[in-house]
């Protein structure tokens, strides 16, 4: 019988490009491929170390002169809704949740295009076609669900969608979008609130939100959830007061790439390699 050894992940760095969150800054990402039989374990392990998934890639900010982006998650046991969040929950209480396999539909794509047009018309996804949308949704080597939120019958209209990974310790909200004409309903907040309830029902301790960037108006909403933790200096800690953070900009604020890679813990203990 032939046995094959797992291959150690190779880590790479993207070329610098303009930061989408903070004007005048450049972003750079450290990334590795997510593939093979060990993909779920690798995704679980690196998600706990500030990485995010995009299709078959895991990435983490690694900007040369900035360390503002912080991975954020909600500790479900510490969460309690504010009065405003309770109102959002009641306002959207009639929406019907439906979890499906990650399979893209034209209806989802239409809502996605409407969302981008209303909220991110100049963003990096603005030109994404149906094939690229399908790749974003369907190219996943791990346990992923597409969670739809629909209005009650007879309309049964698609109001919001979230692409969600199921980790060993929580739910990771990979990407969400919703009807921008329902701005007063705060659907983005509602999707997070509902994921907290899903995680609670599954006995999972965390809901991963992606990155929080102090000083970025686009990211302010993430700090408004009680129980939010951020990954900083290789550990998760309560976010505390957002006013205590600053968008770090210093040549020594980010360790060298080789040092970052050396600090990454892999699920099978194999050494990481940097390119």
- pLDDT given for residue 258 in this prediction: 86
Quickly state the pLDDT bin for 275 (edges 50, 70, 90): very low
Quickly state the pLDDT bin for 88 (edges 50, 70, 90): very high
- pLDDT given for residue 219 in this prediction: 86
pLDDT: which is higher, 110 or 155? 110
Q: How far apart are CA 133 and CA 109, in angstroms?
A: 7
Q: Is residue 83 pLDDT above 90, yes or no?
A: yes
- Specify which residues 150 forms β-bridges with: 96, 158
Q: Is residue 157 pLDDT above 90, yes or no?
A: yes
**For the chain, what is the mean pLDDT?**
89
* Structure-token match 């046991």, residue found: 77
How is residue 208 annotated by DSSP? E
Domains and CATH numbers, the chain: 10-69+247-274 (no CATH), 72-244 (3.40.630.30)
- pLDDT given for residue 122 in this prediction: 55
Summarize pLDDT for 32-63 with one digit per residue, the tens.
Answer: 999 888 999 999 999 999 999 999 999 999 98
Contact 42, 266 (CB under 8 A): yes
Q: Is residue 145 pLDDT above 50, yes or no?
A: yes
The pTM score is: 0.91
Q: How far apart are CA 73 and CA 199, in angstroms?
A: 12
- Calculate mean pLDDT across residues 56-81: 93
Q: Is residue 266 pLDDT above 50, yes or no?
A: yes
In percent, the amount of the chain with pLDDT more than 70 equals: 89
Quickly state the pLDDT bin for 204 (edges 50, 70, 90): very high
Q: Is residue 195 pLDDT above 60, yes or no?
A: yes
Summarize pLDDT for 108-144 with one digit per residue, the tens.
Answer: 999 999 998 866 555 567 678 999 999 999 999 999 9
Pair of tokens at residue 51 = 């990485």
DSSP string, 62-111: --TT----EEEEEEGGG----HHHHHHHHHTTT-EEEEE-S---HHHHHH
- Calculate mean pLDDT across residues 11-19: 92
Summarize pLDDT for 224-246 with one digit per residue, the tens.
Answer: 999 999 999 889 999 988 888 87
- Specify which residues 149 forms β-bridges with: 97, 160
């Amino acid at each position: 019988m032939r046995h094959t050894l797992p291959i150690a992940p190779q880590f790479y760095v993207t070329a610098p490009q303009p930061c989408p969150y903070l004007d005048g800054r450049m972003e750079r990402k450290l990334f590795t491929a997510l593939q093979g039989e060990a993909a779920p374990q690798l995704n679980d392990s690196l998600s706990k170390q500030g990485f995010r998934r995009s299709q078959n890639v895991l990435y983490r900010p690694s900007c040369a002169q900035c360390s503002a982006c912080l991975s954020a998650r909600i500790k479900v046991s510490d969460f309690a809704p504010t009065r405003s969040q309770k109102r959002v929950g009641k306002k959207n209480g009639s929406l019907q949740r439906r979890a499906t396999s990650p399979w893209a539909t034209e209806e989802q794509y239409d809502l996605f295009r409407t969302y981008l047009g209303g909220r991110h018309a100049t963003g990096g996804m603005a030109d994404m076609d149906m094939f690229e949308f399908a790749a974003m949704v369907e190219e996943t080597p791990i346990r992923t669900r597409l969670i739809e939120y629909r209005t009650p019958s007879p309309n049964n209209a698609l109001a919001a969608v979230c692409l969600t990974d199921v980790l060993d310790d929580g739910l990771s909200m990979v990407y969400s979008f919703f009807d921008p004409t329902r701005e007063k309903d705060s659907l983005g907040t509602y999707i997070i609130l509902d994921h907290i309830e899903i995680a609670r029902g599954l006995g999972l301790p965390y809901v991963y939100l992606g990155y929080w960037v102090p000083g970025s108006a686009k990211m302010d909403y993430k700090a408004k959830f009680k129980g939010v933790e951020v990954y900083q200096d290789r550990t998760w800690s309560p976010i505390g007061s957002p006013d205590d953070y600053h968008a770090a900009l210093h040549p020594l604020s980010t360790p060298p790439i080789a040092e970052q890679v050396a600090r990454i813990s892999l699920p099978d203990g194999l050494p990481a390699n940097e390119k």
